[in-house]
Structure 1
Amino acid sequence: MKNSEIILKYGCNPYQNPARIYNKNKTMPFKILNGTPGYINFMDAFNSWQLVKELKQMSGLPAAASFKHVSPAGAAIGIPLNDILKKSYFVEDIELSSTAAAYARARGADRMSSYGDWSAISDTVDLPTAMILSKSVSDGIIAPGYTDEALKLLLKKQRGRYCIVQMDWNYEPERMERREIYGMVFEQKRNDVKIKEEMLDNIVTNNKNITESVKLDMLVSMITLKYTQSNSVCFVLNGQVIGVGAGQQSRIHCTRLAASKADIWYLRQHPAVLNLPFKKNISRPERDNVIDQYLRDDTTIMEMKGWNNVFEEMPNRLTKEEKAEWLSSLNGVTLGSDAFFPFRDNIDRASQSGVKYIVQPGGSLRDNIVIDACNEYNMVMVYSNLRLFHH
């Protein structure tokens, strides 16, 4: 391995060999402290790093992301957690720093998708953050630094094979970026647009009441979308992404996917879920999997057969009416979209999952219809005039 080149075991798949990453004879802006990251690991690492660095620069708070297959399962800034979220995220036994709170939130957005994630942290990884990672199924991490205690703990993960990357905070890539597809070279100016609060000035709905905390959520959503495979929509609440709909061909499918994930995120905080009678030896990934089944309306009797080995006693299922009543209290959610809404169906679906604030570029032929729909629900909608496609 040169300091400008890393030979990889293979590319996206085991049969795609040889594979490497290199930096045009320049010194790599990172160090591999442990493990052997692969092709997809590095793709997740560099996309997630850009996201958390930009969130940190925007908010001034530690930021974290949980990435899977080049899109965030979750992203957040380091706002303190209440007791309910601590229990829902399985971190009630850890004294959380602001950095640890950011990662707990990022991983807590979509715990099923975060299984085997790549983690990104904007600040030096401390012991509380490492403690969360040590108990999570995760493939690797990228951060600007690690305390001695944190590094010592992470080096034990995966029997010493856990991938740990240290990134140079000051690194800036070239202005132009290139890639090859089928032998053709694509070149474009790197997406270095800065997401700023001034982009939120154009409020197009009758309701124009917007707080500073909502503006922060809008900015979090836009920065997250900037590094999410398009089409994409994300839901944000209190500085935390709570649902991402990524890589869908239809805008409404993005919205439905993000909304369904936000619903699950909120249902996980229902007292019946927080107090499920799990046996003591059940791992956190197993709990996440069973909770997902428990909350699904279409879970079959066959899928429930193994629950006797998981629970001390079989719990009662939440009824559709109980779920609907709980979800009706979800409110104040911000929705961000990387491109305009072509139809009002997105607004109708979003309204069912607590969305009251929307930021999107605008520019659809049916903008007036979409605005009218928002006015019906007394939503606030902002036109950022900034499309954020990412491929």
Structure 2
Amino acid sequence: MQNTIPFPATIIKLENGIELAYGENRDQSPAWLVYGGTDDPLAPSRFKCISGTPSFISIADLVQIVGIQRLLIESFQRFNGHVPYTVIAGKHGNPCGLGISHGDPREAINKALMGNTVAVMGGEVSTNFAIGEAEAEILFNSPQSIGREKWGLDLIAAPKFSLGAVAILGKKQGRRLLSNPYLNGSPFPSNQWVITPAGADWLCQRAPSFVLTRKEVQSWSGKEMNSAQFENALIAFACCWRASSNTVALARDRMLIGLGCGQQDRIACVRLCLEQANKAGHDTHGAIFASDGFFPYAESKVIWSDDDFRVLLDEIERAKATLESSTHAIAVKVTANLSALISRMDRREGTELLIDAGCAGGIVPADGKELPNVRNLFERSGLAVGFVAPEHRGFAKH
């Protein structure tokens, strides 16, 4: 092992930084952003604070969504040399919305905010284009269909804000507005190492550098994705490879529509991802998924017995009888109980859940003992699934 890895000083000089509004939790205050002496133009210390005082969480989340933004921009540059208008929304270190548009920045904003209208409330947003009054209005006021008047975004980062935009967005007290001209195009991070605290010690490893391109796809199950599908694959990939593992992401119509992250098994990732998409009212038919790890099994071996069918049918009949003469509260409870029973009985694998949801394809590492069966299942089902080298798993945030 080489012994020339740049290593952080064990004593941090707080005068080389700025004090933040508060810590991750208020009882962890005071907190600081300490300058690392990097030449990265998108380091958090390189952002200009136009309004508000950043907190520990807002800076931490900014770093995460800007990282996804840079990965996505690099992916598009390698894909077709054209970078679309890009908006990413984040919450507690993970993406909750991402939208792109090739012609209208306001369309990109709407796509990002409508990805998960519940999670995005109070979140952070980063764009690769300047924010004027028209864009500010969309970021400030939420549609009537959402059930809330304002999005309540905590932080907005952009290359530039007009004075009118600052006046509109500044109506929310304490909102952080940060600008950095390099958000509209910055070189992919060149740092070679990532160093993470490990108790009283440190973990050190190579920085993630994998970027999805068609050339990086080793093989396809059946036919390749068309250009529109591959754009959705890039969106799902960028979110999936930077979210808390294990993760499955879903994109459709140039926006993120579902994310199942931080789960201990692949099935739970898929279920959460599809549940988020369905709750937000998105159509999963034709969507493209990305999985940061392989699928351990292709198909479920569990077959329902006659008793299983009988239990389910009996519960459905009881639910129907109750719903015919019940209050709203009871109806909700009965429906939830029936849904829980169906969920317990549903033993489908992640592959089957994605197929049954109508997905058109996806991106997944070519790994696992069941890889031939997984590949065959996707091909039989007509999905265009691209398999990348197994060393390019997207595990993150351990």
Q: Deviations over 1:309-367 (max 9, x none)?
A: xxxxxxxxxxxxxxxxxx6xx52110101111112211111123221202101211111
Instruction: Give every structure 1 segment of 4 or more consecutive aligned residues whose post-TM-superposition deviation is greater than 6 Å.
Output: none
Q: Evaluate the alpha carbon distance shift between residue 25 and residue 58 of structure 1 in structure 2; reply closer, same or farther with a 3 A threshold.
A: closer
Per-residue Cα deviation, 1:6-53 (whole angstroms, up to 9, x for no partner): 212432211223321212356821111111111111111111112123
Distance (whole Å) between structure 2 residues aligned to residue 378 and residue 25 of structure 1: 51
Q: TM-score, normalised by structure 1?
A: 0.74
Amino acid at match of 1:374: F
Secondary structure of 2:360's match? strand
Letter in 2 for 1:37: P
> What RMSD in Å do the two structures reach over aligned CA positions?
2.3
**Structure 1 residue 258 displacement after superposition:** 0.6
Deviation digits for residues 157-189 of structure 1, max 9, x if unmatched? x13x21011125148564323221311112222
1:349 aligns with 2:353: yes
Tell me the equivalent position of 2:152: 137
Q: Which residue of 2 aligns with 1:335?
A: 289
Asked whether the 8 Å contact 2:258–2:276 carries over to 1, the reply is: yes
> Relative to 1, partners in 2 of residues 1:153 and 1:128: Cα closer, same or farther, differing over 3 Å?
same
Q: What secondary structure, in the 3-state scheme, does the structure 2 residue paired with 1:266 have?
A: coil
Structure-2 residue corresponding to 1:181 = 198
Task: Mark the CA change 1:35 to 1:3 in structure 2 (over 3 Å): closer, same or farther.
Answer: farther
CA contact (8 A) 1:202 1:382 kept: yes
Superposition map of 1:116-265 within 5 A: 116-135=122-141, 136-156=151-171, 158-159=172-173, 161-169=174-182, 170=186, 172=189, 174-200=191-217, 202-203=219-220, 205=221, 207-265=222-280
Task: Note the C-alpha offset of 1:3.
Answer: 9.2
Question: Which structure 2 residue ranges, 5 or more long, are not aligned?
Answer: 1-12, 40-44, 77-82, 142-150, 299-348
The residue type paired with residue 335 of structure 1 is F
Contact 2:14 2:32 (8 Å CA) reproduced: no
What is the match of residue 56 of structure 1?
73
Alignment CA distance shift 1:227-1:359 (3 Å): same
Q: Note if 1:8 corresponds to 2:20.
A: yes
Distance 1:195 1:145 in 2: 29
**Aligned counterparts of 1:73 and 1:121: Cα–Cα separation in 2:** 14
Partner of 2:6: none
Distance 1:162 1:17, change over 3 A: closer
**The residue matched to 1:100 in structure 2 has which SS?**
helix
Deviates more, 1:238-247 or 1:375-384: 375-384
Write the letter of the residue equivalent to 2:287.
V
**1:377 partnered with 2:381:** yes
* CA displacement, residues 239-291 of structure 1 (integer Å, 9 cap, x when unaligned): 21110001111111000111112223336xxxxxxxxxxxxxxxxxxxxxxxx
Instruction: Specify the code of the residue in structure 2 equivalent to 1:111.
Output: T
SS at match of 1:130: helix
Q: 2:32 aligns with which of 20, 38, 47?
A: 20
Per mean C-alpha deviation after superposition, the further-off stretch among 58-67 and 369-378 is 369-378
Percent same amino acid at aligned positions? 20
Measured in 2, the distance between the counterparts of 1:192 and 1:375 equals 29
| TM-score, structure 2 as length reference | 0.72
- Partner Cα separation in structure 2 for residue 4 and residue 222 of structure 1: 36
CA contact (8 A) 1:56 1:62 kept: no
Residue 64 of structure 1 deviates from its aligned partner by 0.8
Maintained 8 Å contact 1:65/1:76:
yes
Looking at structure 2, the residues matched to 72 and 342 of structure 1 have their Cα atoms a distance apart, in angstroms, of 25
Q: What CA distance in whole angstroms lies between the structure 2 residues aligned with 1:9 and 1:149?
A: 25
Q: Is the contact between residue 334 and residue 357 of structure 1 (CA under 8 Å) also seen in structure 2?
A: yes
1:71 is aligned to 2:94: yes
**Residue 179 of structure 2: SS of its match in structure 1?**
strand
User: For residues 24 and 376 of structure 1, what CA distance do their matches in structure 2 show?
Assistant: 51
Indicate if the aligned counterparts of 1:66 and 1:74 stay in contact, CA closer than 8 A: yes
Residue 277 of structure 1 corresponds to none
| Partner amino acid, structure 2, of 1:20 | W
Matched, 1:37 2:54: yes
Helix, strand or coil at the partner of 1:355: coil
Task: Tell me the secondary structure at the aligned position of residue 125 of structure 2.
Answer: strand
Q: Which moved more, 1:113-122 or 1:180-189?
A: 180-189
Deviations along 1:44-96, one digit per CA (max 9) or x if unpaired, are 1111112123323433101111101100011121257xxxxxxxxxxxxxxxx
User: How many pairs were matched up?
Assistant: 309
By how many angstroms is 1:212 displaced? 0.9
1:291-370 to 2 correspondence within 5 Å?
Answer: 330-344=284-298, 345-370=349-374
| Residue aligned with 1:138, SS | coil
